[in-house]
């Protein structure tokens, strides 16, 4: 009887270990996505945030620094592709002088935004090491990303009327501003934890 009881207890233990392992693996695979959704829920554009960052869930895991860095990298990539688009628009024939001037101003704003985001990304990497300099580095990042957001927002201001050019650039600028705003929010969240 004792041998049968021992065997039953062992079988029950094996079943429990398998169940916990299986459940633990499922939970672990869902955790990065839940982490991203939770962090994105406090941003101004949560749907854009979740959509853009979810594909990087395996890299981000549950690391606030990695989340902020990935969001900032996405903002920089989008800023660079927008800069290339605006530069190509400058080469279009038949532009009115006002459109050309607006494109030139916009290209300068986007170029400034790219520079600030690039500097921010480098500075954010220094924030991985906690210590006395953390607050200084993170403050630089927040300032530069905020300035880049201002650049993004003012880019389309020079376009008047409802032309295709304005609509095309405005759509890109709105999306870029949303991604940059979300990055700034996630950086601020990260900073508040340290």
Let me know: does 82 contact 110? Beta carbons within 8 Å: yes
Rg of the chain over CA atoms, in angstroms?
A: 24
H runs (alpha helix) in the chain: 2-40, 46-53, 57-60, 64-89, 97-126, 134-154, 164-192
Query: What is the pLDDT, as a whole number, of residue 30?
Result: 54
Q: Which residue has the higher pLDDT, 12 or 126?
A: 126
- Which candidate, 125, 110, 111, 108, places its Cα nearest to that of 65? 125
Provide mean pLDDT across the span 172-183.
Answer: 94
- pLDDT, tens only, 143-173: 999 999 998 888 867 676 656 777 788 888 8
Total domains present in the chain: 1
* Rounded Cα gap, residues 121 and 143, in angstroms: 12
Residue located via tokens 């924030």? 127
- pLDDT, tens only, 3-59: 444 444 434 333 333 333 333 333 344 589 999 999 999 999 999 999 999 999 999
- pLDDT, tens only, 86-124: 988 878 878 788 888 888 889 999 999 999 999 999 999
Let me know: does 72 contact 120? Beta carbons within 8 Å: yes
Query: What is the pLDDT, as a whole number, of residue 24?
Result: 39
Instruction: Supply the mean pLDDT for the chain.
Output: 82
* Rounded Cα gap, residues 48 and 185, in angstroms: 13
Domain hosting 70: range is 3-192
Query: What is the pLDDT, as a whole number, of residue 167?
Result: 79
113's tokens = 């935004």
Q: For residue 188, what is the domain's CATH number?
A: 1.20.140.40
Query: What is the pLDDT, as a whole number, of residue 133?
Result: 84
Query: What is the pLDDT, as a whole number, of residue 161?
Result: 64
């Amino acid at each position: 009887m004792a041998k049968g009881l021992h065997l039953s207890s062992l079988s029950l233990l094996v079943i429990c270990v398998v169940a916990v392992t299986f459940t633990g693996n499922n939970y672990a695979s869902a955790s990065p996505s839940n982490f991203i959704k939770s962090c994105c829920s406090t941003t101004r554009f949560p749907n854009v945030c979740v959509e853009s960052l979810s594909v990087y869930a395996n890299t981000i895991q549950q690391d606030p620094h990695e989340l902020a860095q990935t969001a900032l990298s996405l903002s920089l990539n989008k800023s660079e592709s927008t800069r290339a688009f605006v530069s190509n628009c400058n080469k279009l024939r038949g532009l009115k002088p006002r459109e050309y001037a607006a494109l030139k101003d916009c290209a300068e704003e986007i170029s400034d935004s790219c520079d600030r985001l690039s500097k921010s990304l480098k500075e954010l990497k220094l924030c991985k090491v906690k210590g006395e300099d953390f607050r200084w580095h993170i403050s630089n990042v927040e300032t530069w990303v905020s300035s880049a957001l201002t650049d993004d927002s003012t880019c389309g201001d020079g376009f008047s009327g409802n032309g295709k050019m304005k609509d095309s650039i405005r759509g890109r600028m709105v999306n870029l501003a949303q991604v940059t705003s979300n990055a700034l929010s996630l950086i601020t969240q990260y900073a508040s934890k340290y």
